[in-house]
């Protein structure tokens, strides 16, 4: 019975992957900092990426339309070359960040907000700028 269920999940993952808009990827073609998110954070993330690109930062965003099944191959290809990954989430615990950290064994820069208000582009941009300056272009001592 479990084998049948997991075959269905694999089939669903393959079908979803074939959809033209299953994954939204935006920003620099060779980013150093990446944002991974989903849902309502996409709009503010896009604006934040635009600001970061205008300021000379190599940043991009990856937003899957579905979290289950997670598009692991595509997500892995996105995060592998990055120097830093930021996960903005509108919740206290940061469940998506936990999943990414667990699956890919990498440090995640979390941006959690749990006030009931949506992210602004400025909040996400400030996190990109802070992470970029600390992790991508560290100052010499």
Mean pLDDT, the chain, whole residue set: 89
The predicted model scores a pTM of 0.86
- 27 by Cβ neighbours in 10 Å (0-12 / 13-18 / 19+) ranks as buried
> What's the pLDDT score for residue 18?
65
Give the CATH number of domain 2-136; options: 3.40.190.10, 3.40.50.920, 1.20.1440.230, 3.40.109.10: 3.40.50.920
54 CB-contact burial (10 Å; exposed 0-12 / middle 13-18 / buried 19+): exposed
Given this model, what pLDDT does residue 20 score?
Answer: 66
Q: What is the DSSP string of 37-73?
A: --GGGHHHHHHHHHHHHHTT--EEEEEES-SSS--HH
pLDDT in the model for residue 2: 75
Q: Compute the chain's Rg from CA coordinates.
A: 16
**pLDDT the model gives residue 52:** 98
Give 25-44 pLDDT, tens digit per residue: 999 999 999 999 999 999 99
Low-confidence ranges of the chain (pLDDT < 70): 9, 12-20, 138-141
Q: How far is CA 87 from CA 33, 54, 55, 66, 141, in A?
A: 11, 21, 21, 16, 29
> What pLDDT score does 19 carry?
61
Q: What is the distance in angstroms between the CA of the first residue and the CA of the last residue of the chain?
A: 59
From the centroid of its chain, how far is CA 99? 11
Closest CA to 84 of 43, 24, 40, 137: 137
Burial class (CB in 10 A: 0-12, 13-18, 19+), 60: buried
């Amino acid at each position: 019975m479990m084998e049948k269920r997991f075959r269905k999940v694999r089939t669903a993952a393959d079908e979803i992957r074939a959809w033209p808009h299953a994954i939204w990827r935006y920003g620099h073609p060779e980013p150093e900092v990446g944002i991974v998110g989903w849902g309502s954070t996409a709009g503010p993330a896009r604006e934040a990426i635009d600001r970061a690109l205008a300021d000379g930062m190599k940043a991009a965003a990856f937003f899957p339309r579905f979290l289950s099944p997670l598009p692991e191959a595509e997500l892995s290809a996105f995060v592998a070359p990055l120097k830093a990954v930021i996960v903005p989430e509108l919740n206290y615990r940061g469940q998506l960040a936990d999943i990414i950290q667990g699956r890919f064994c990498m440090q995640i820069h979390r941006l959690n907000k749990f006030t009931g208000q949506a992210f602004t582009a400025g909040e996400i941009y400030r996190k990109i700028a802070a992470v970029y300056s600390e992790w991508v272009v560290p100052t010499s001592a």
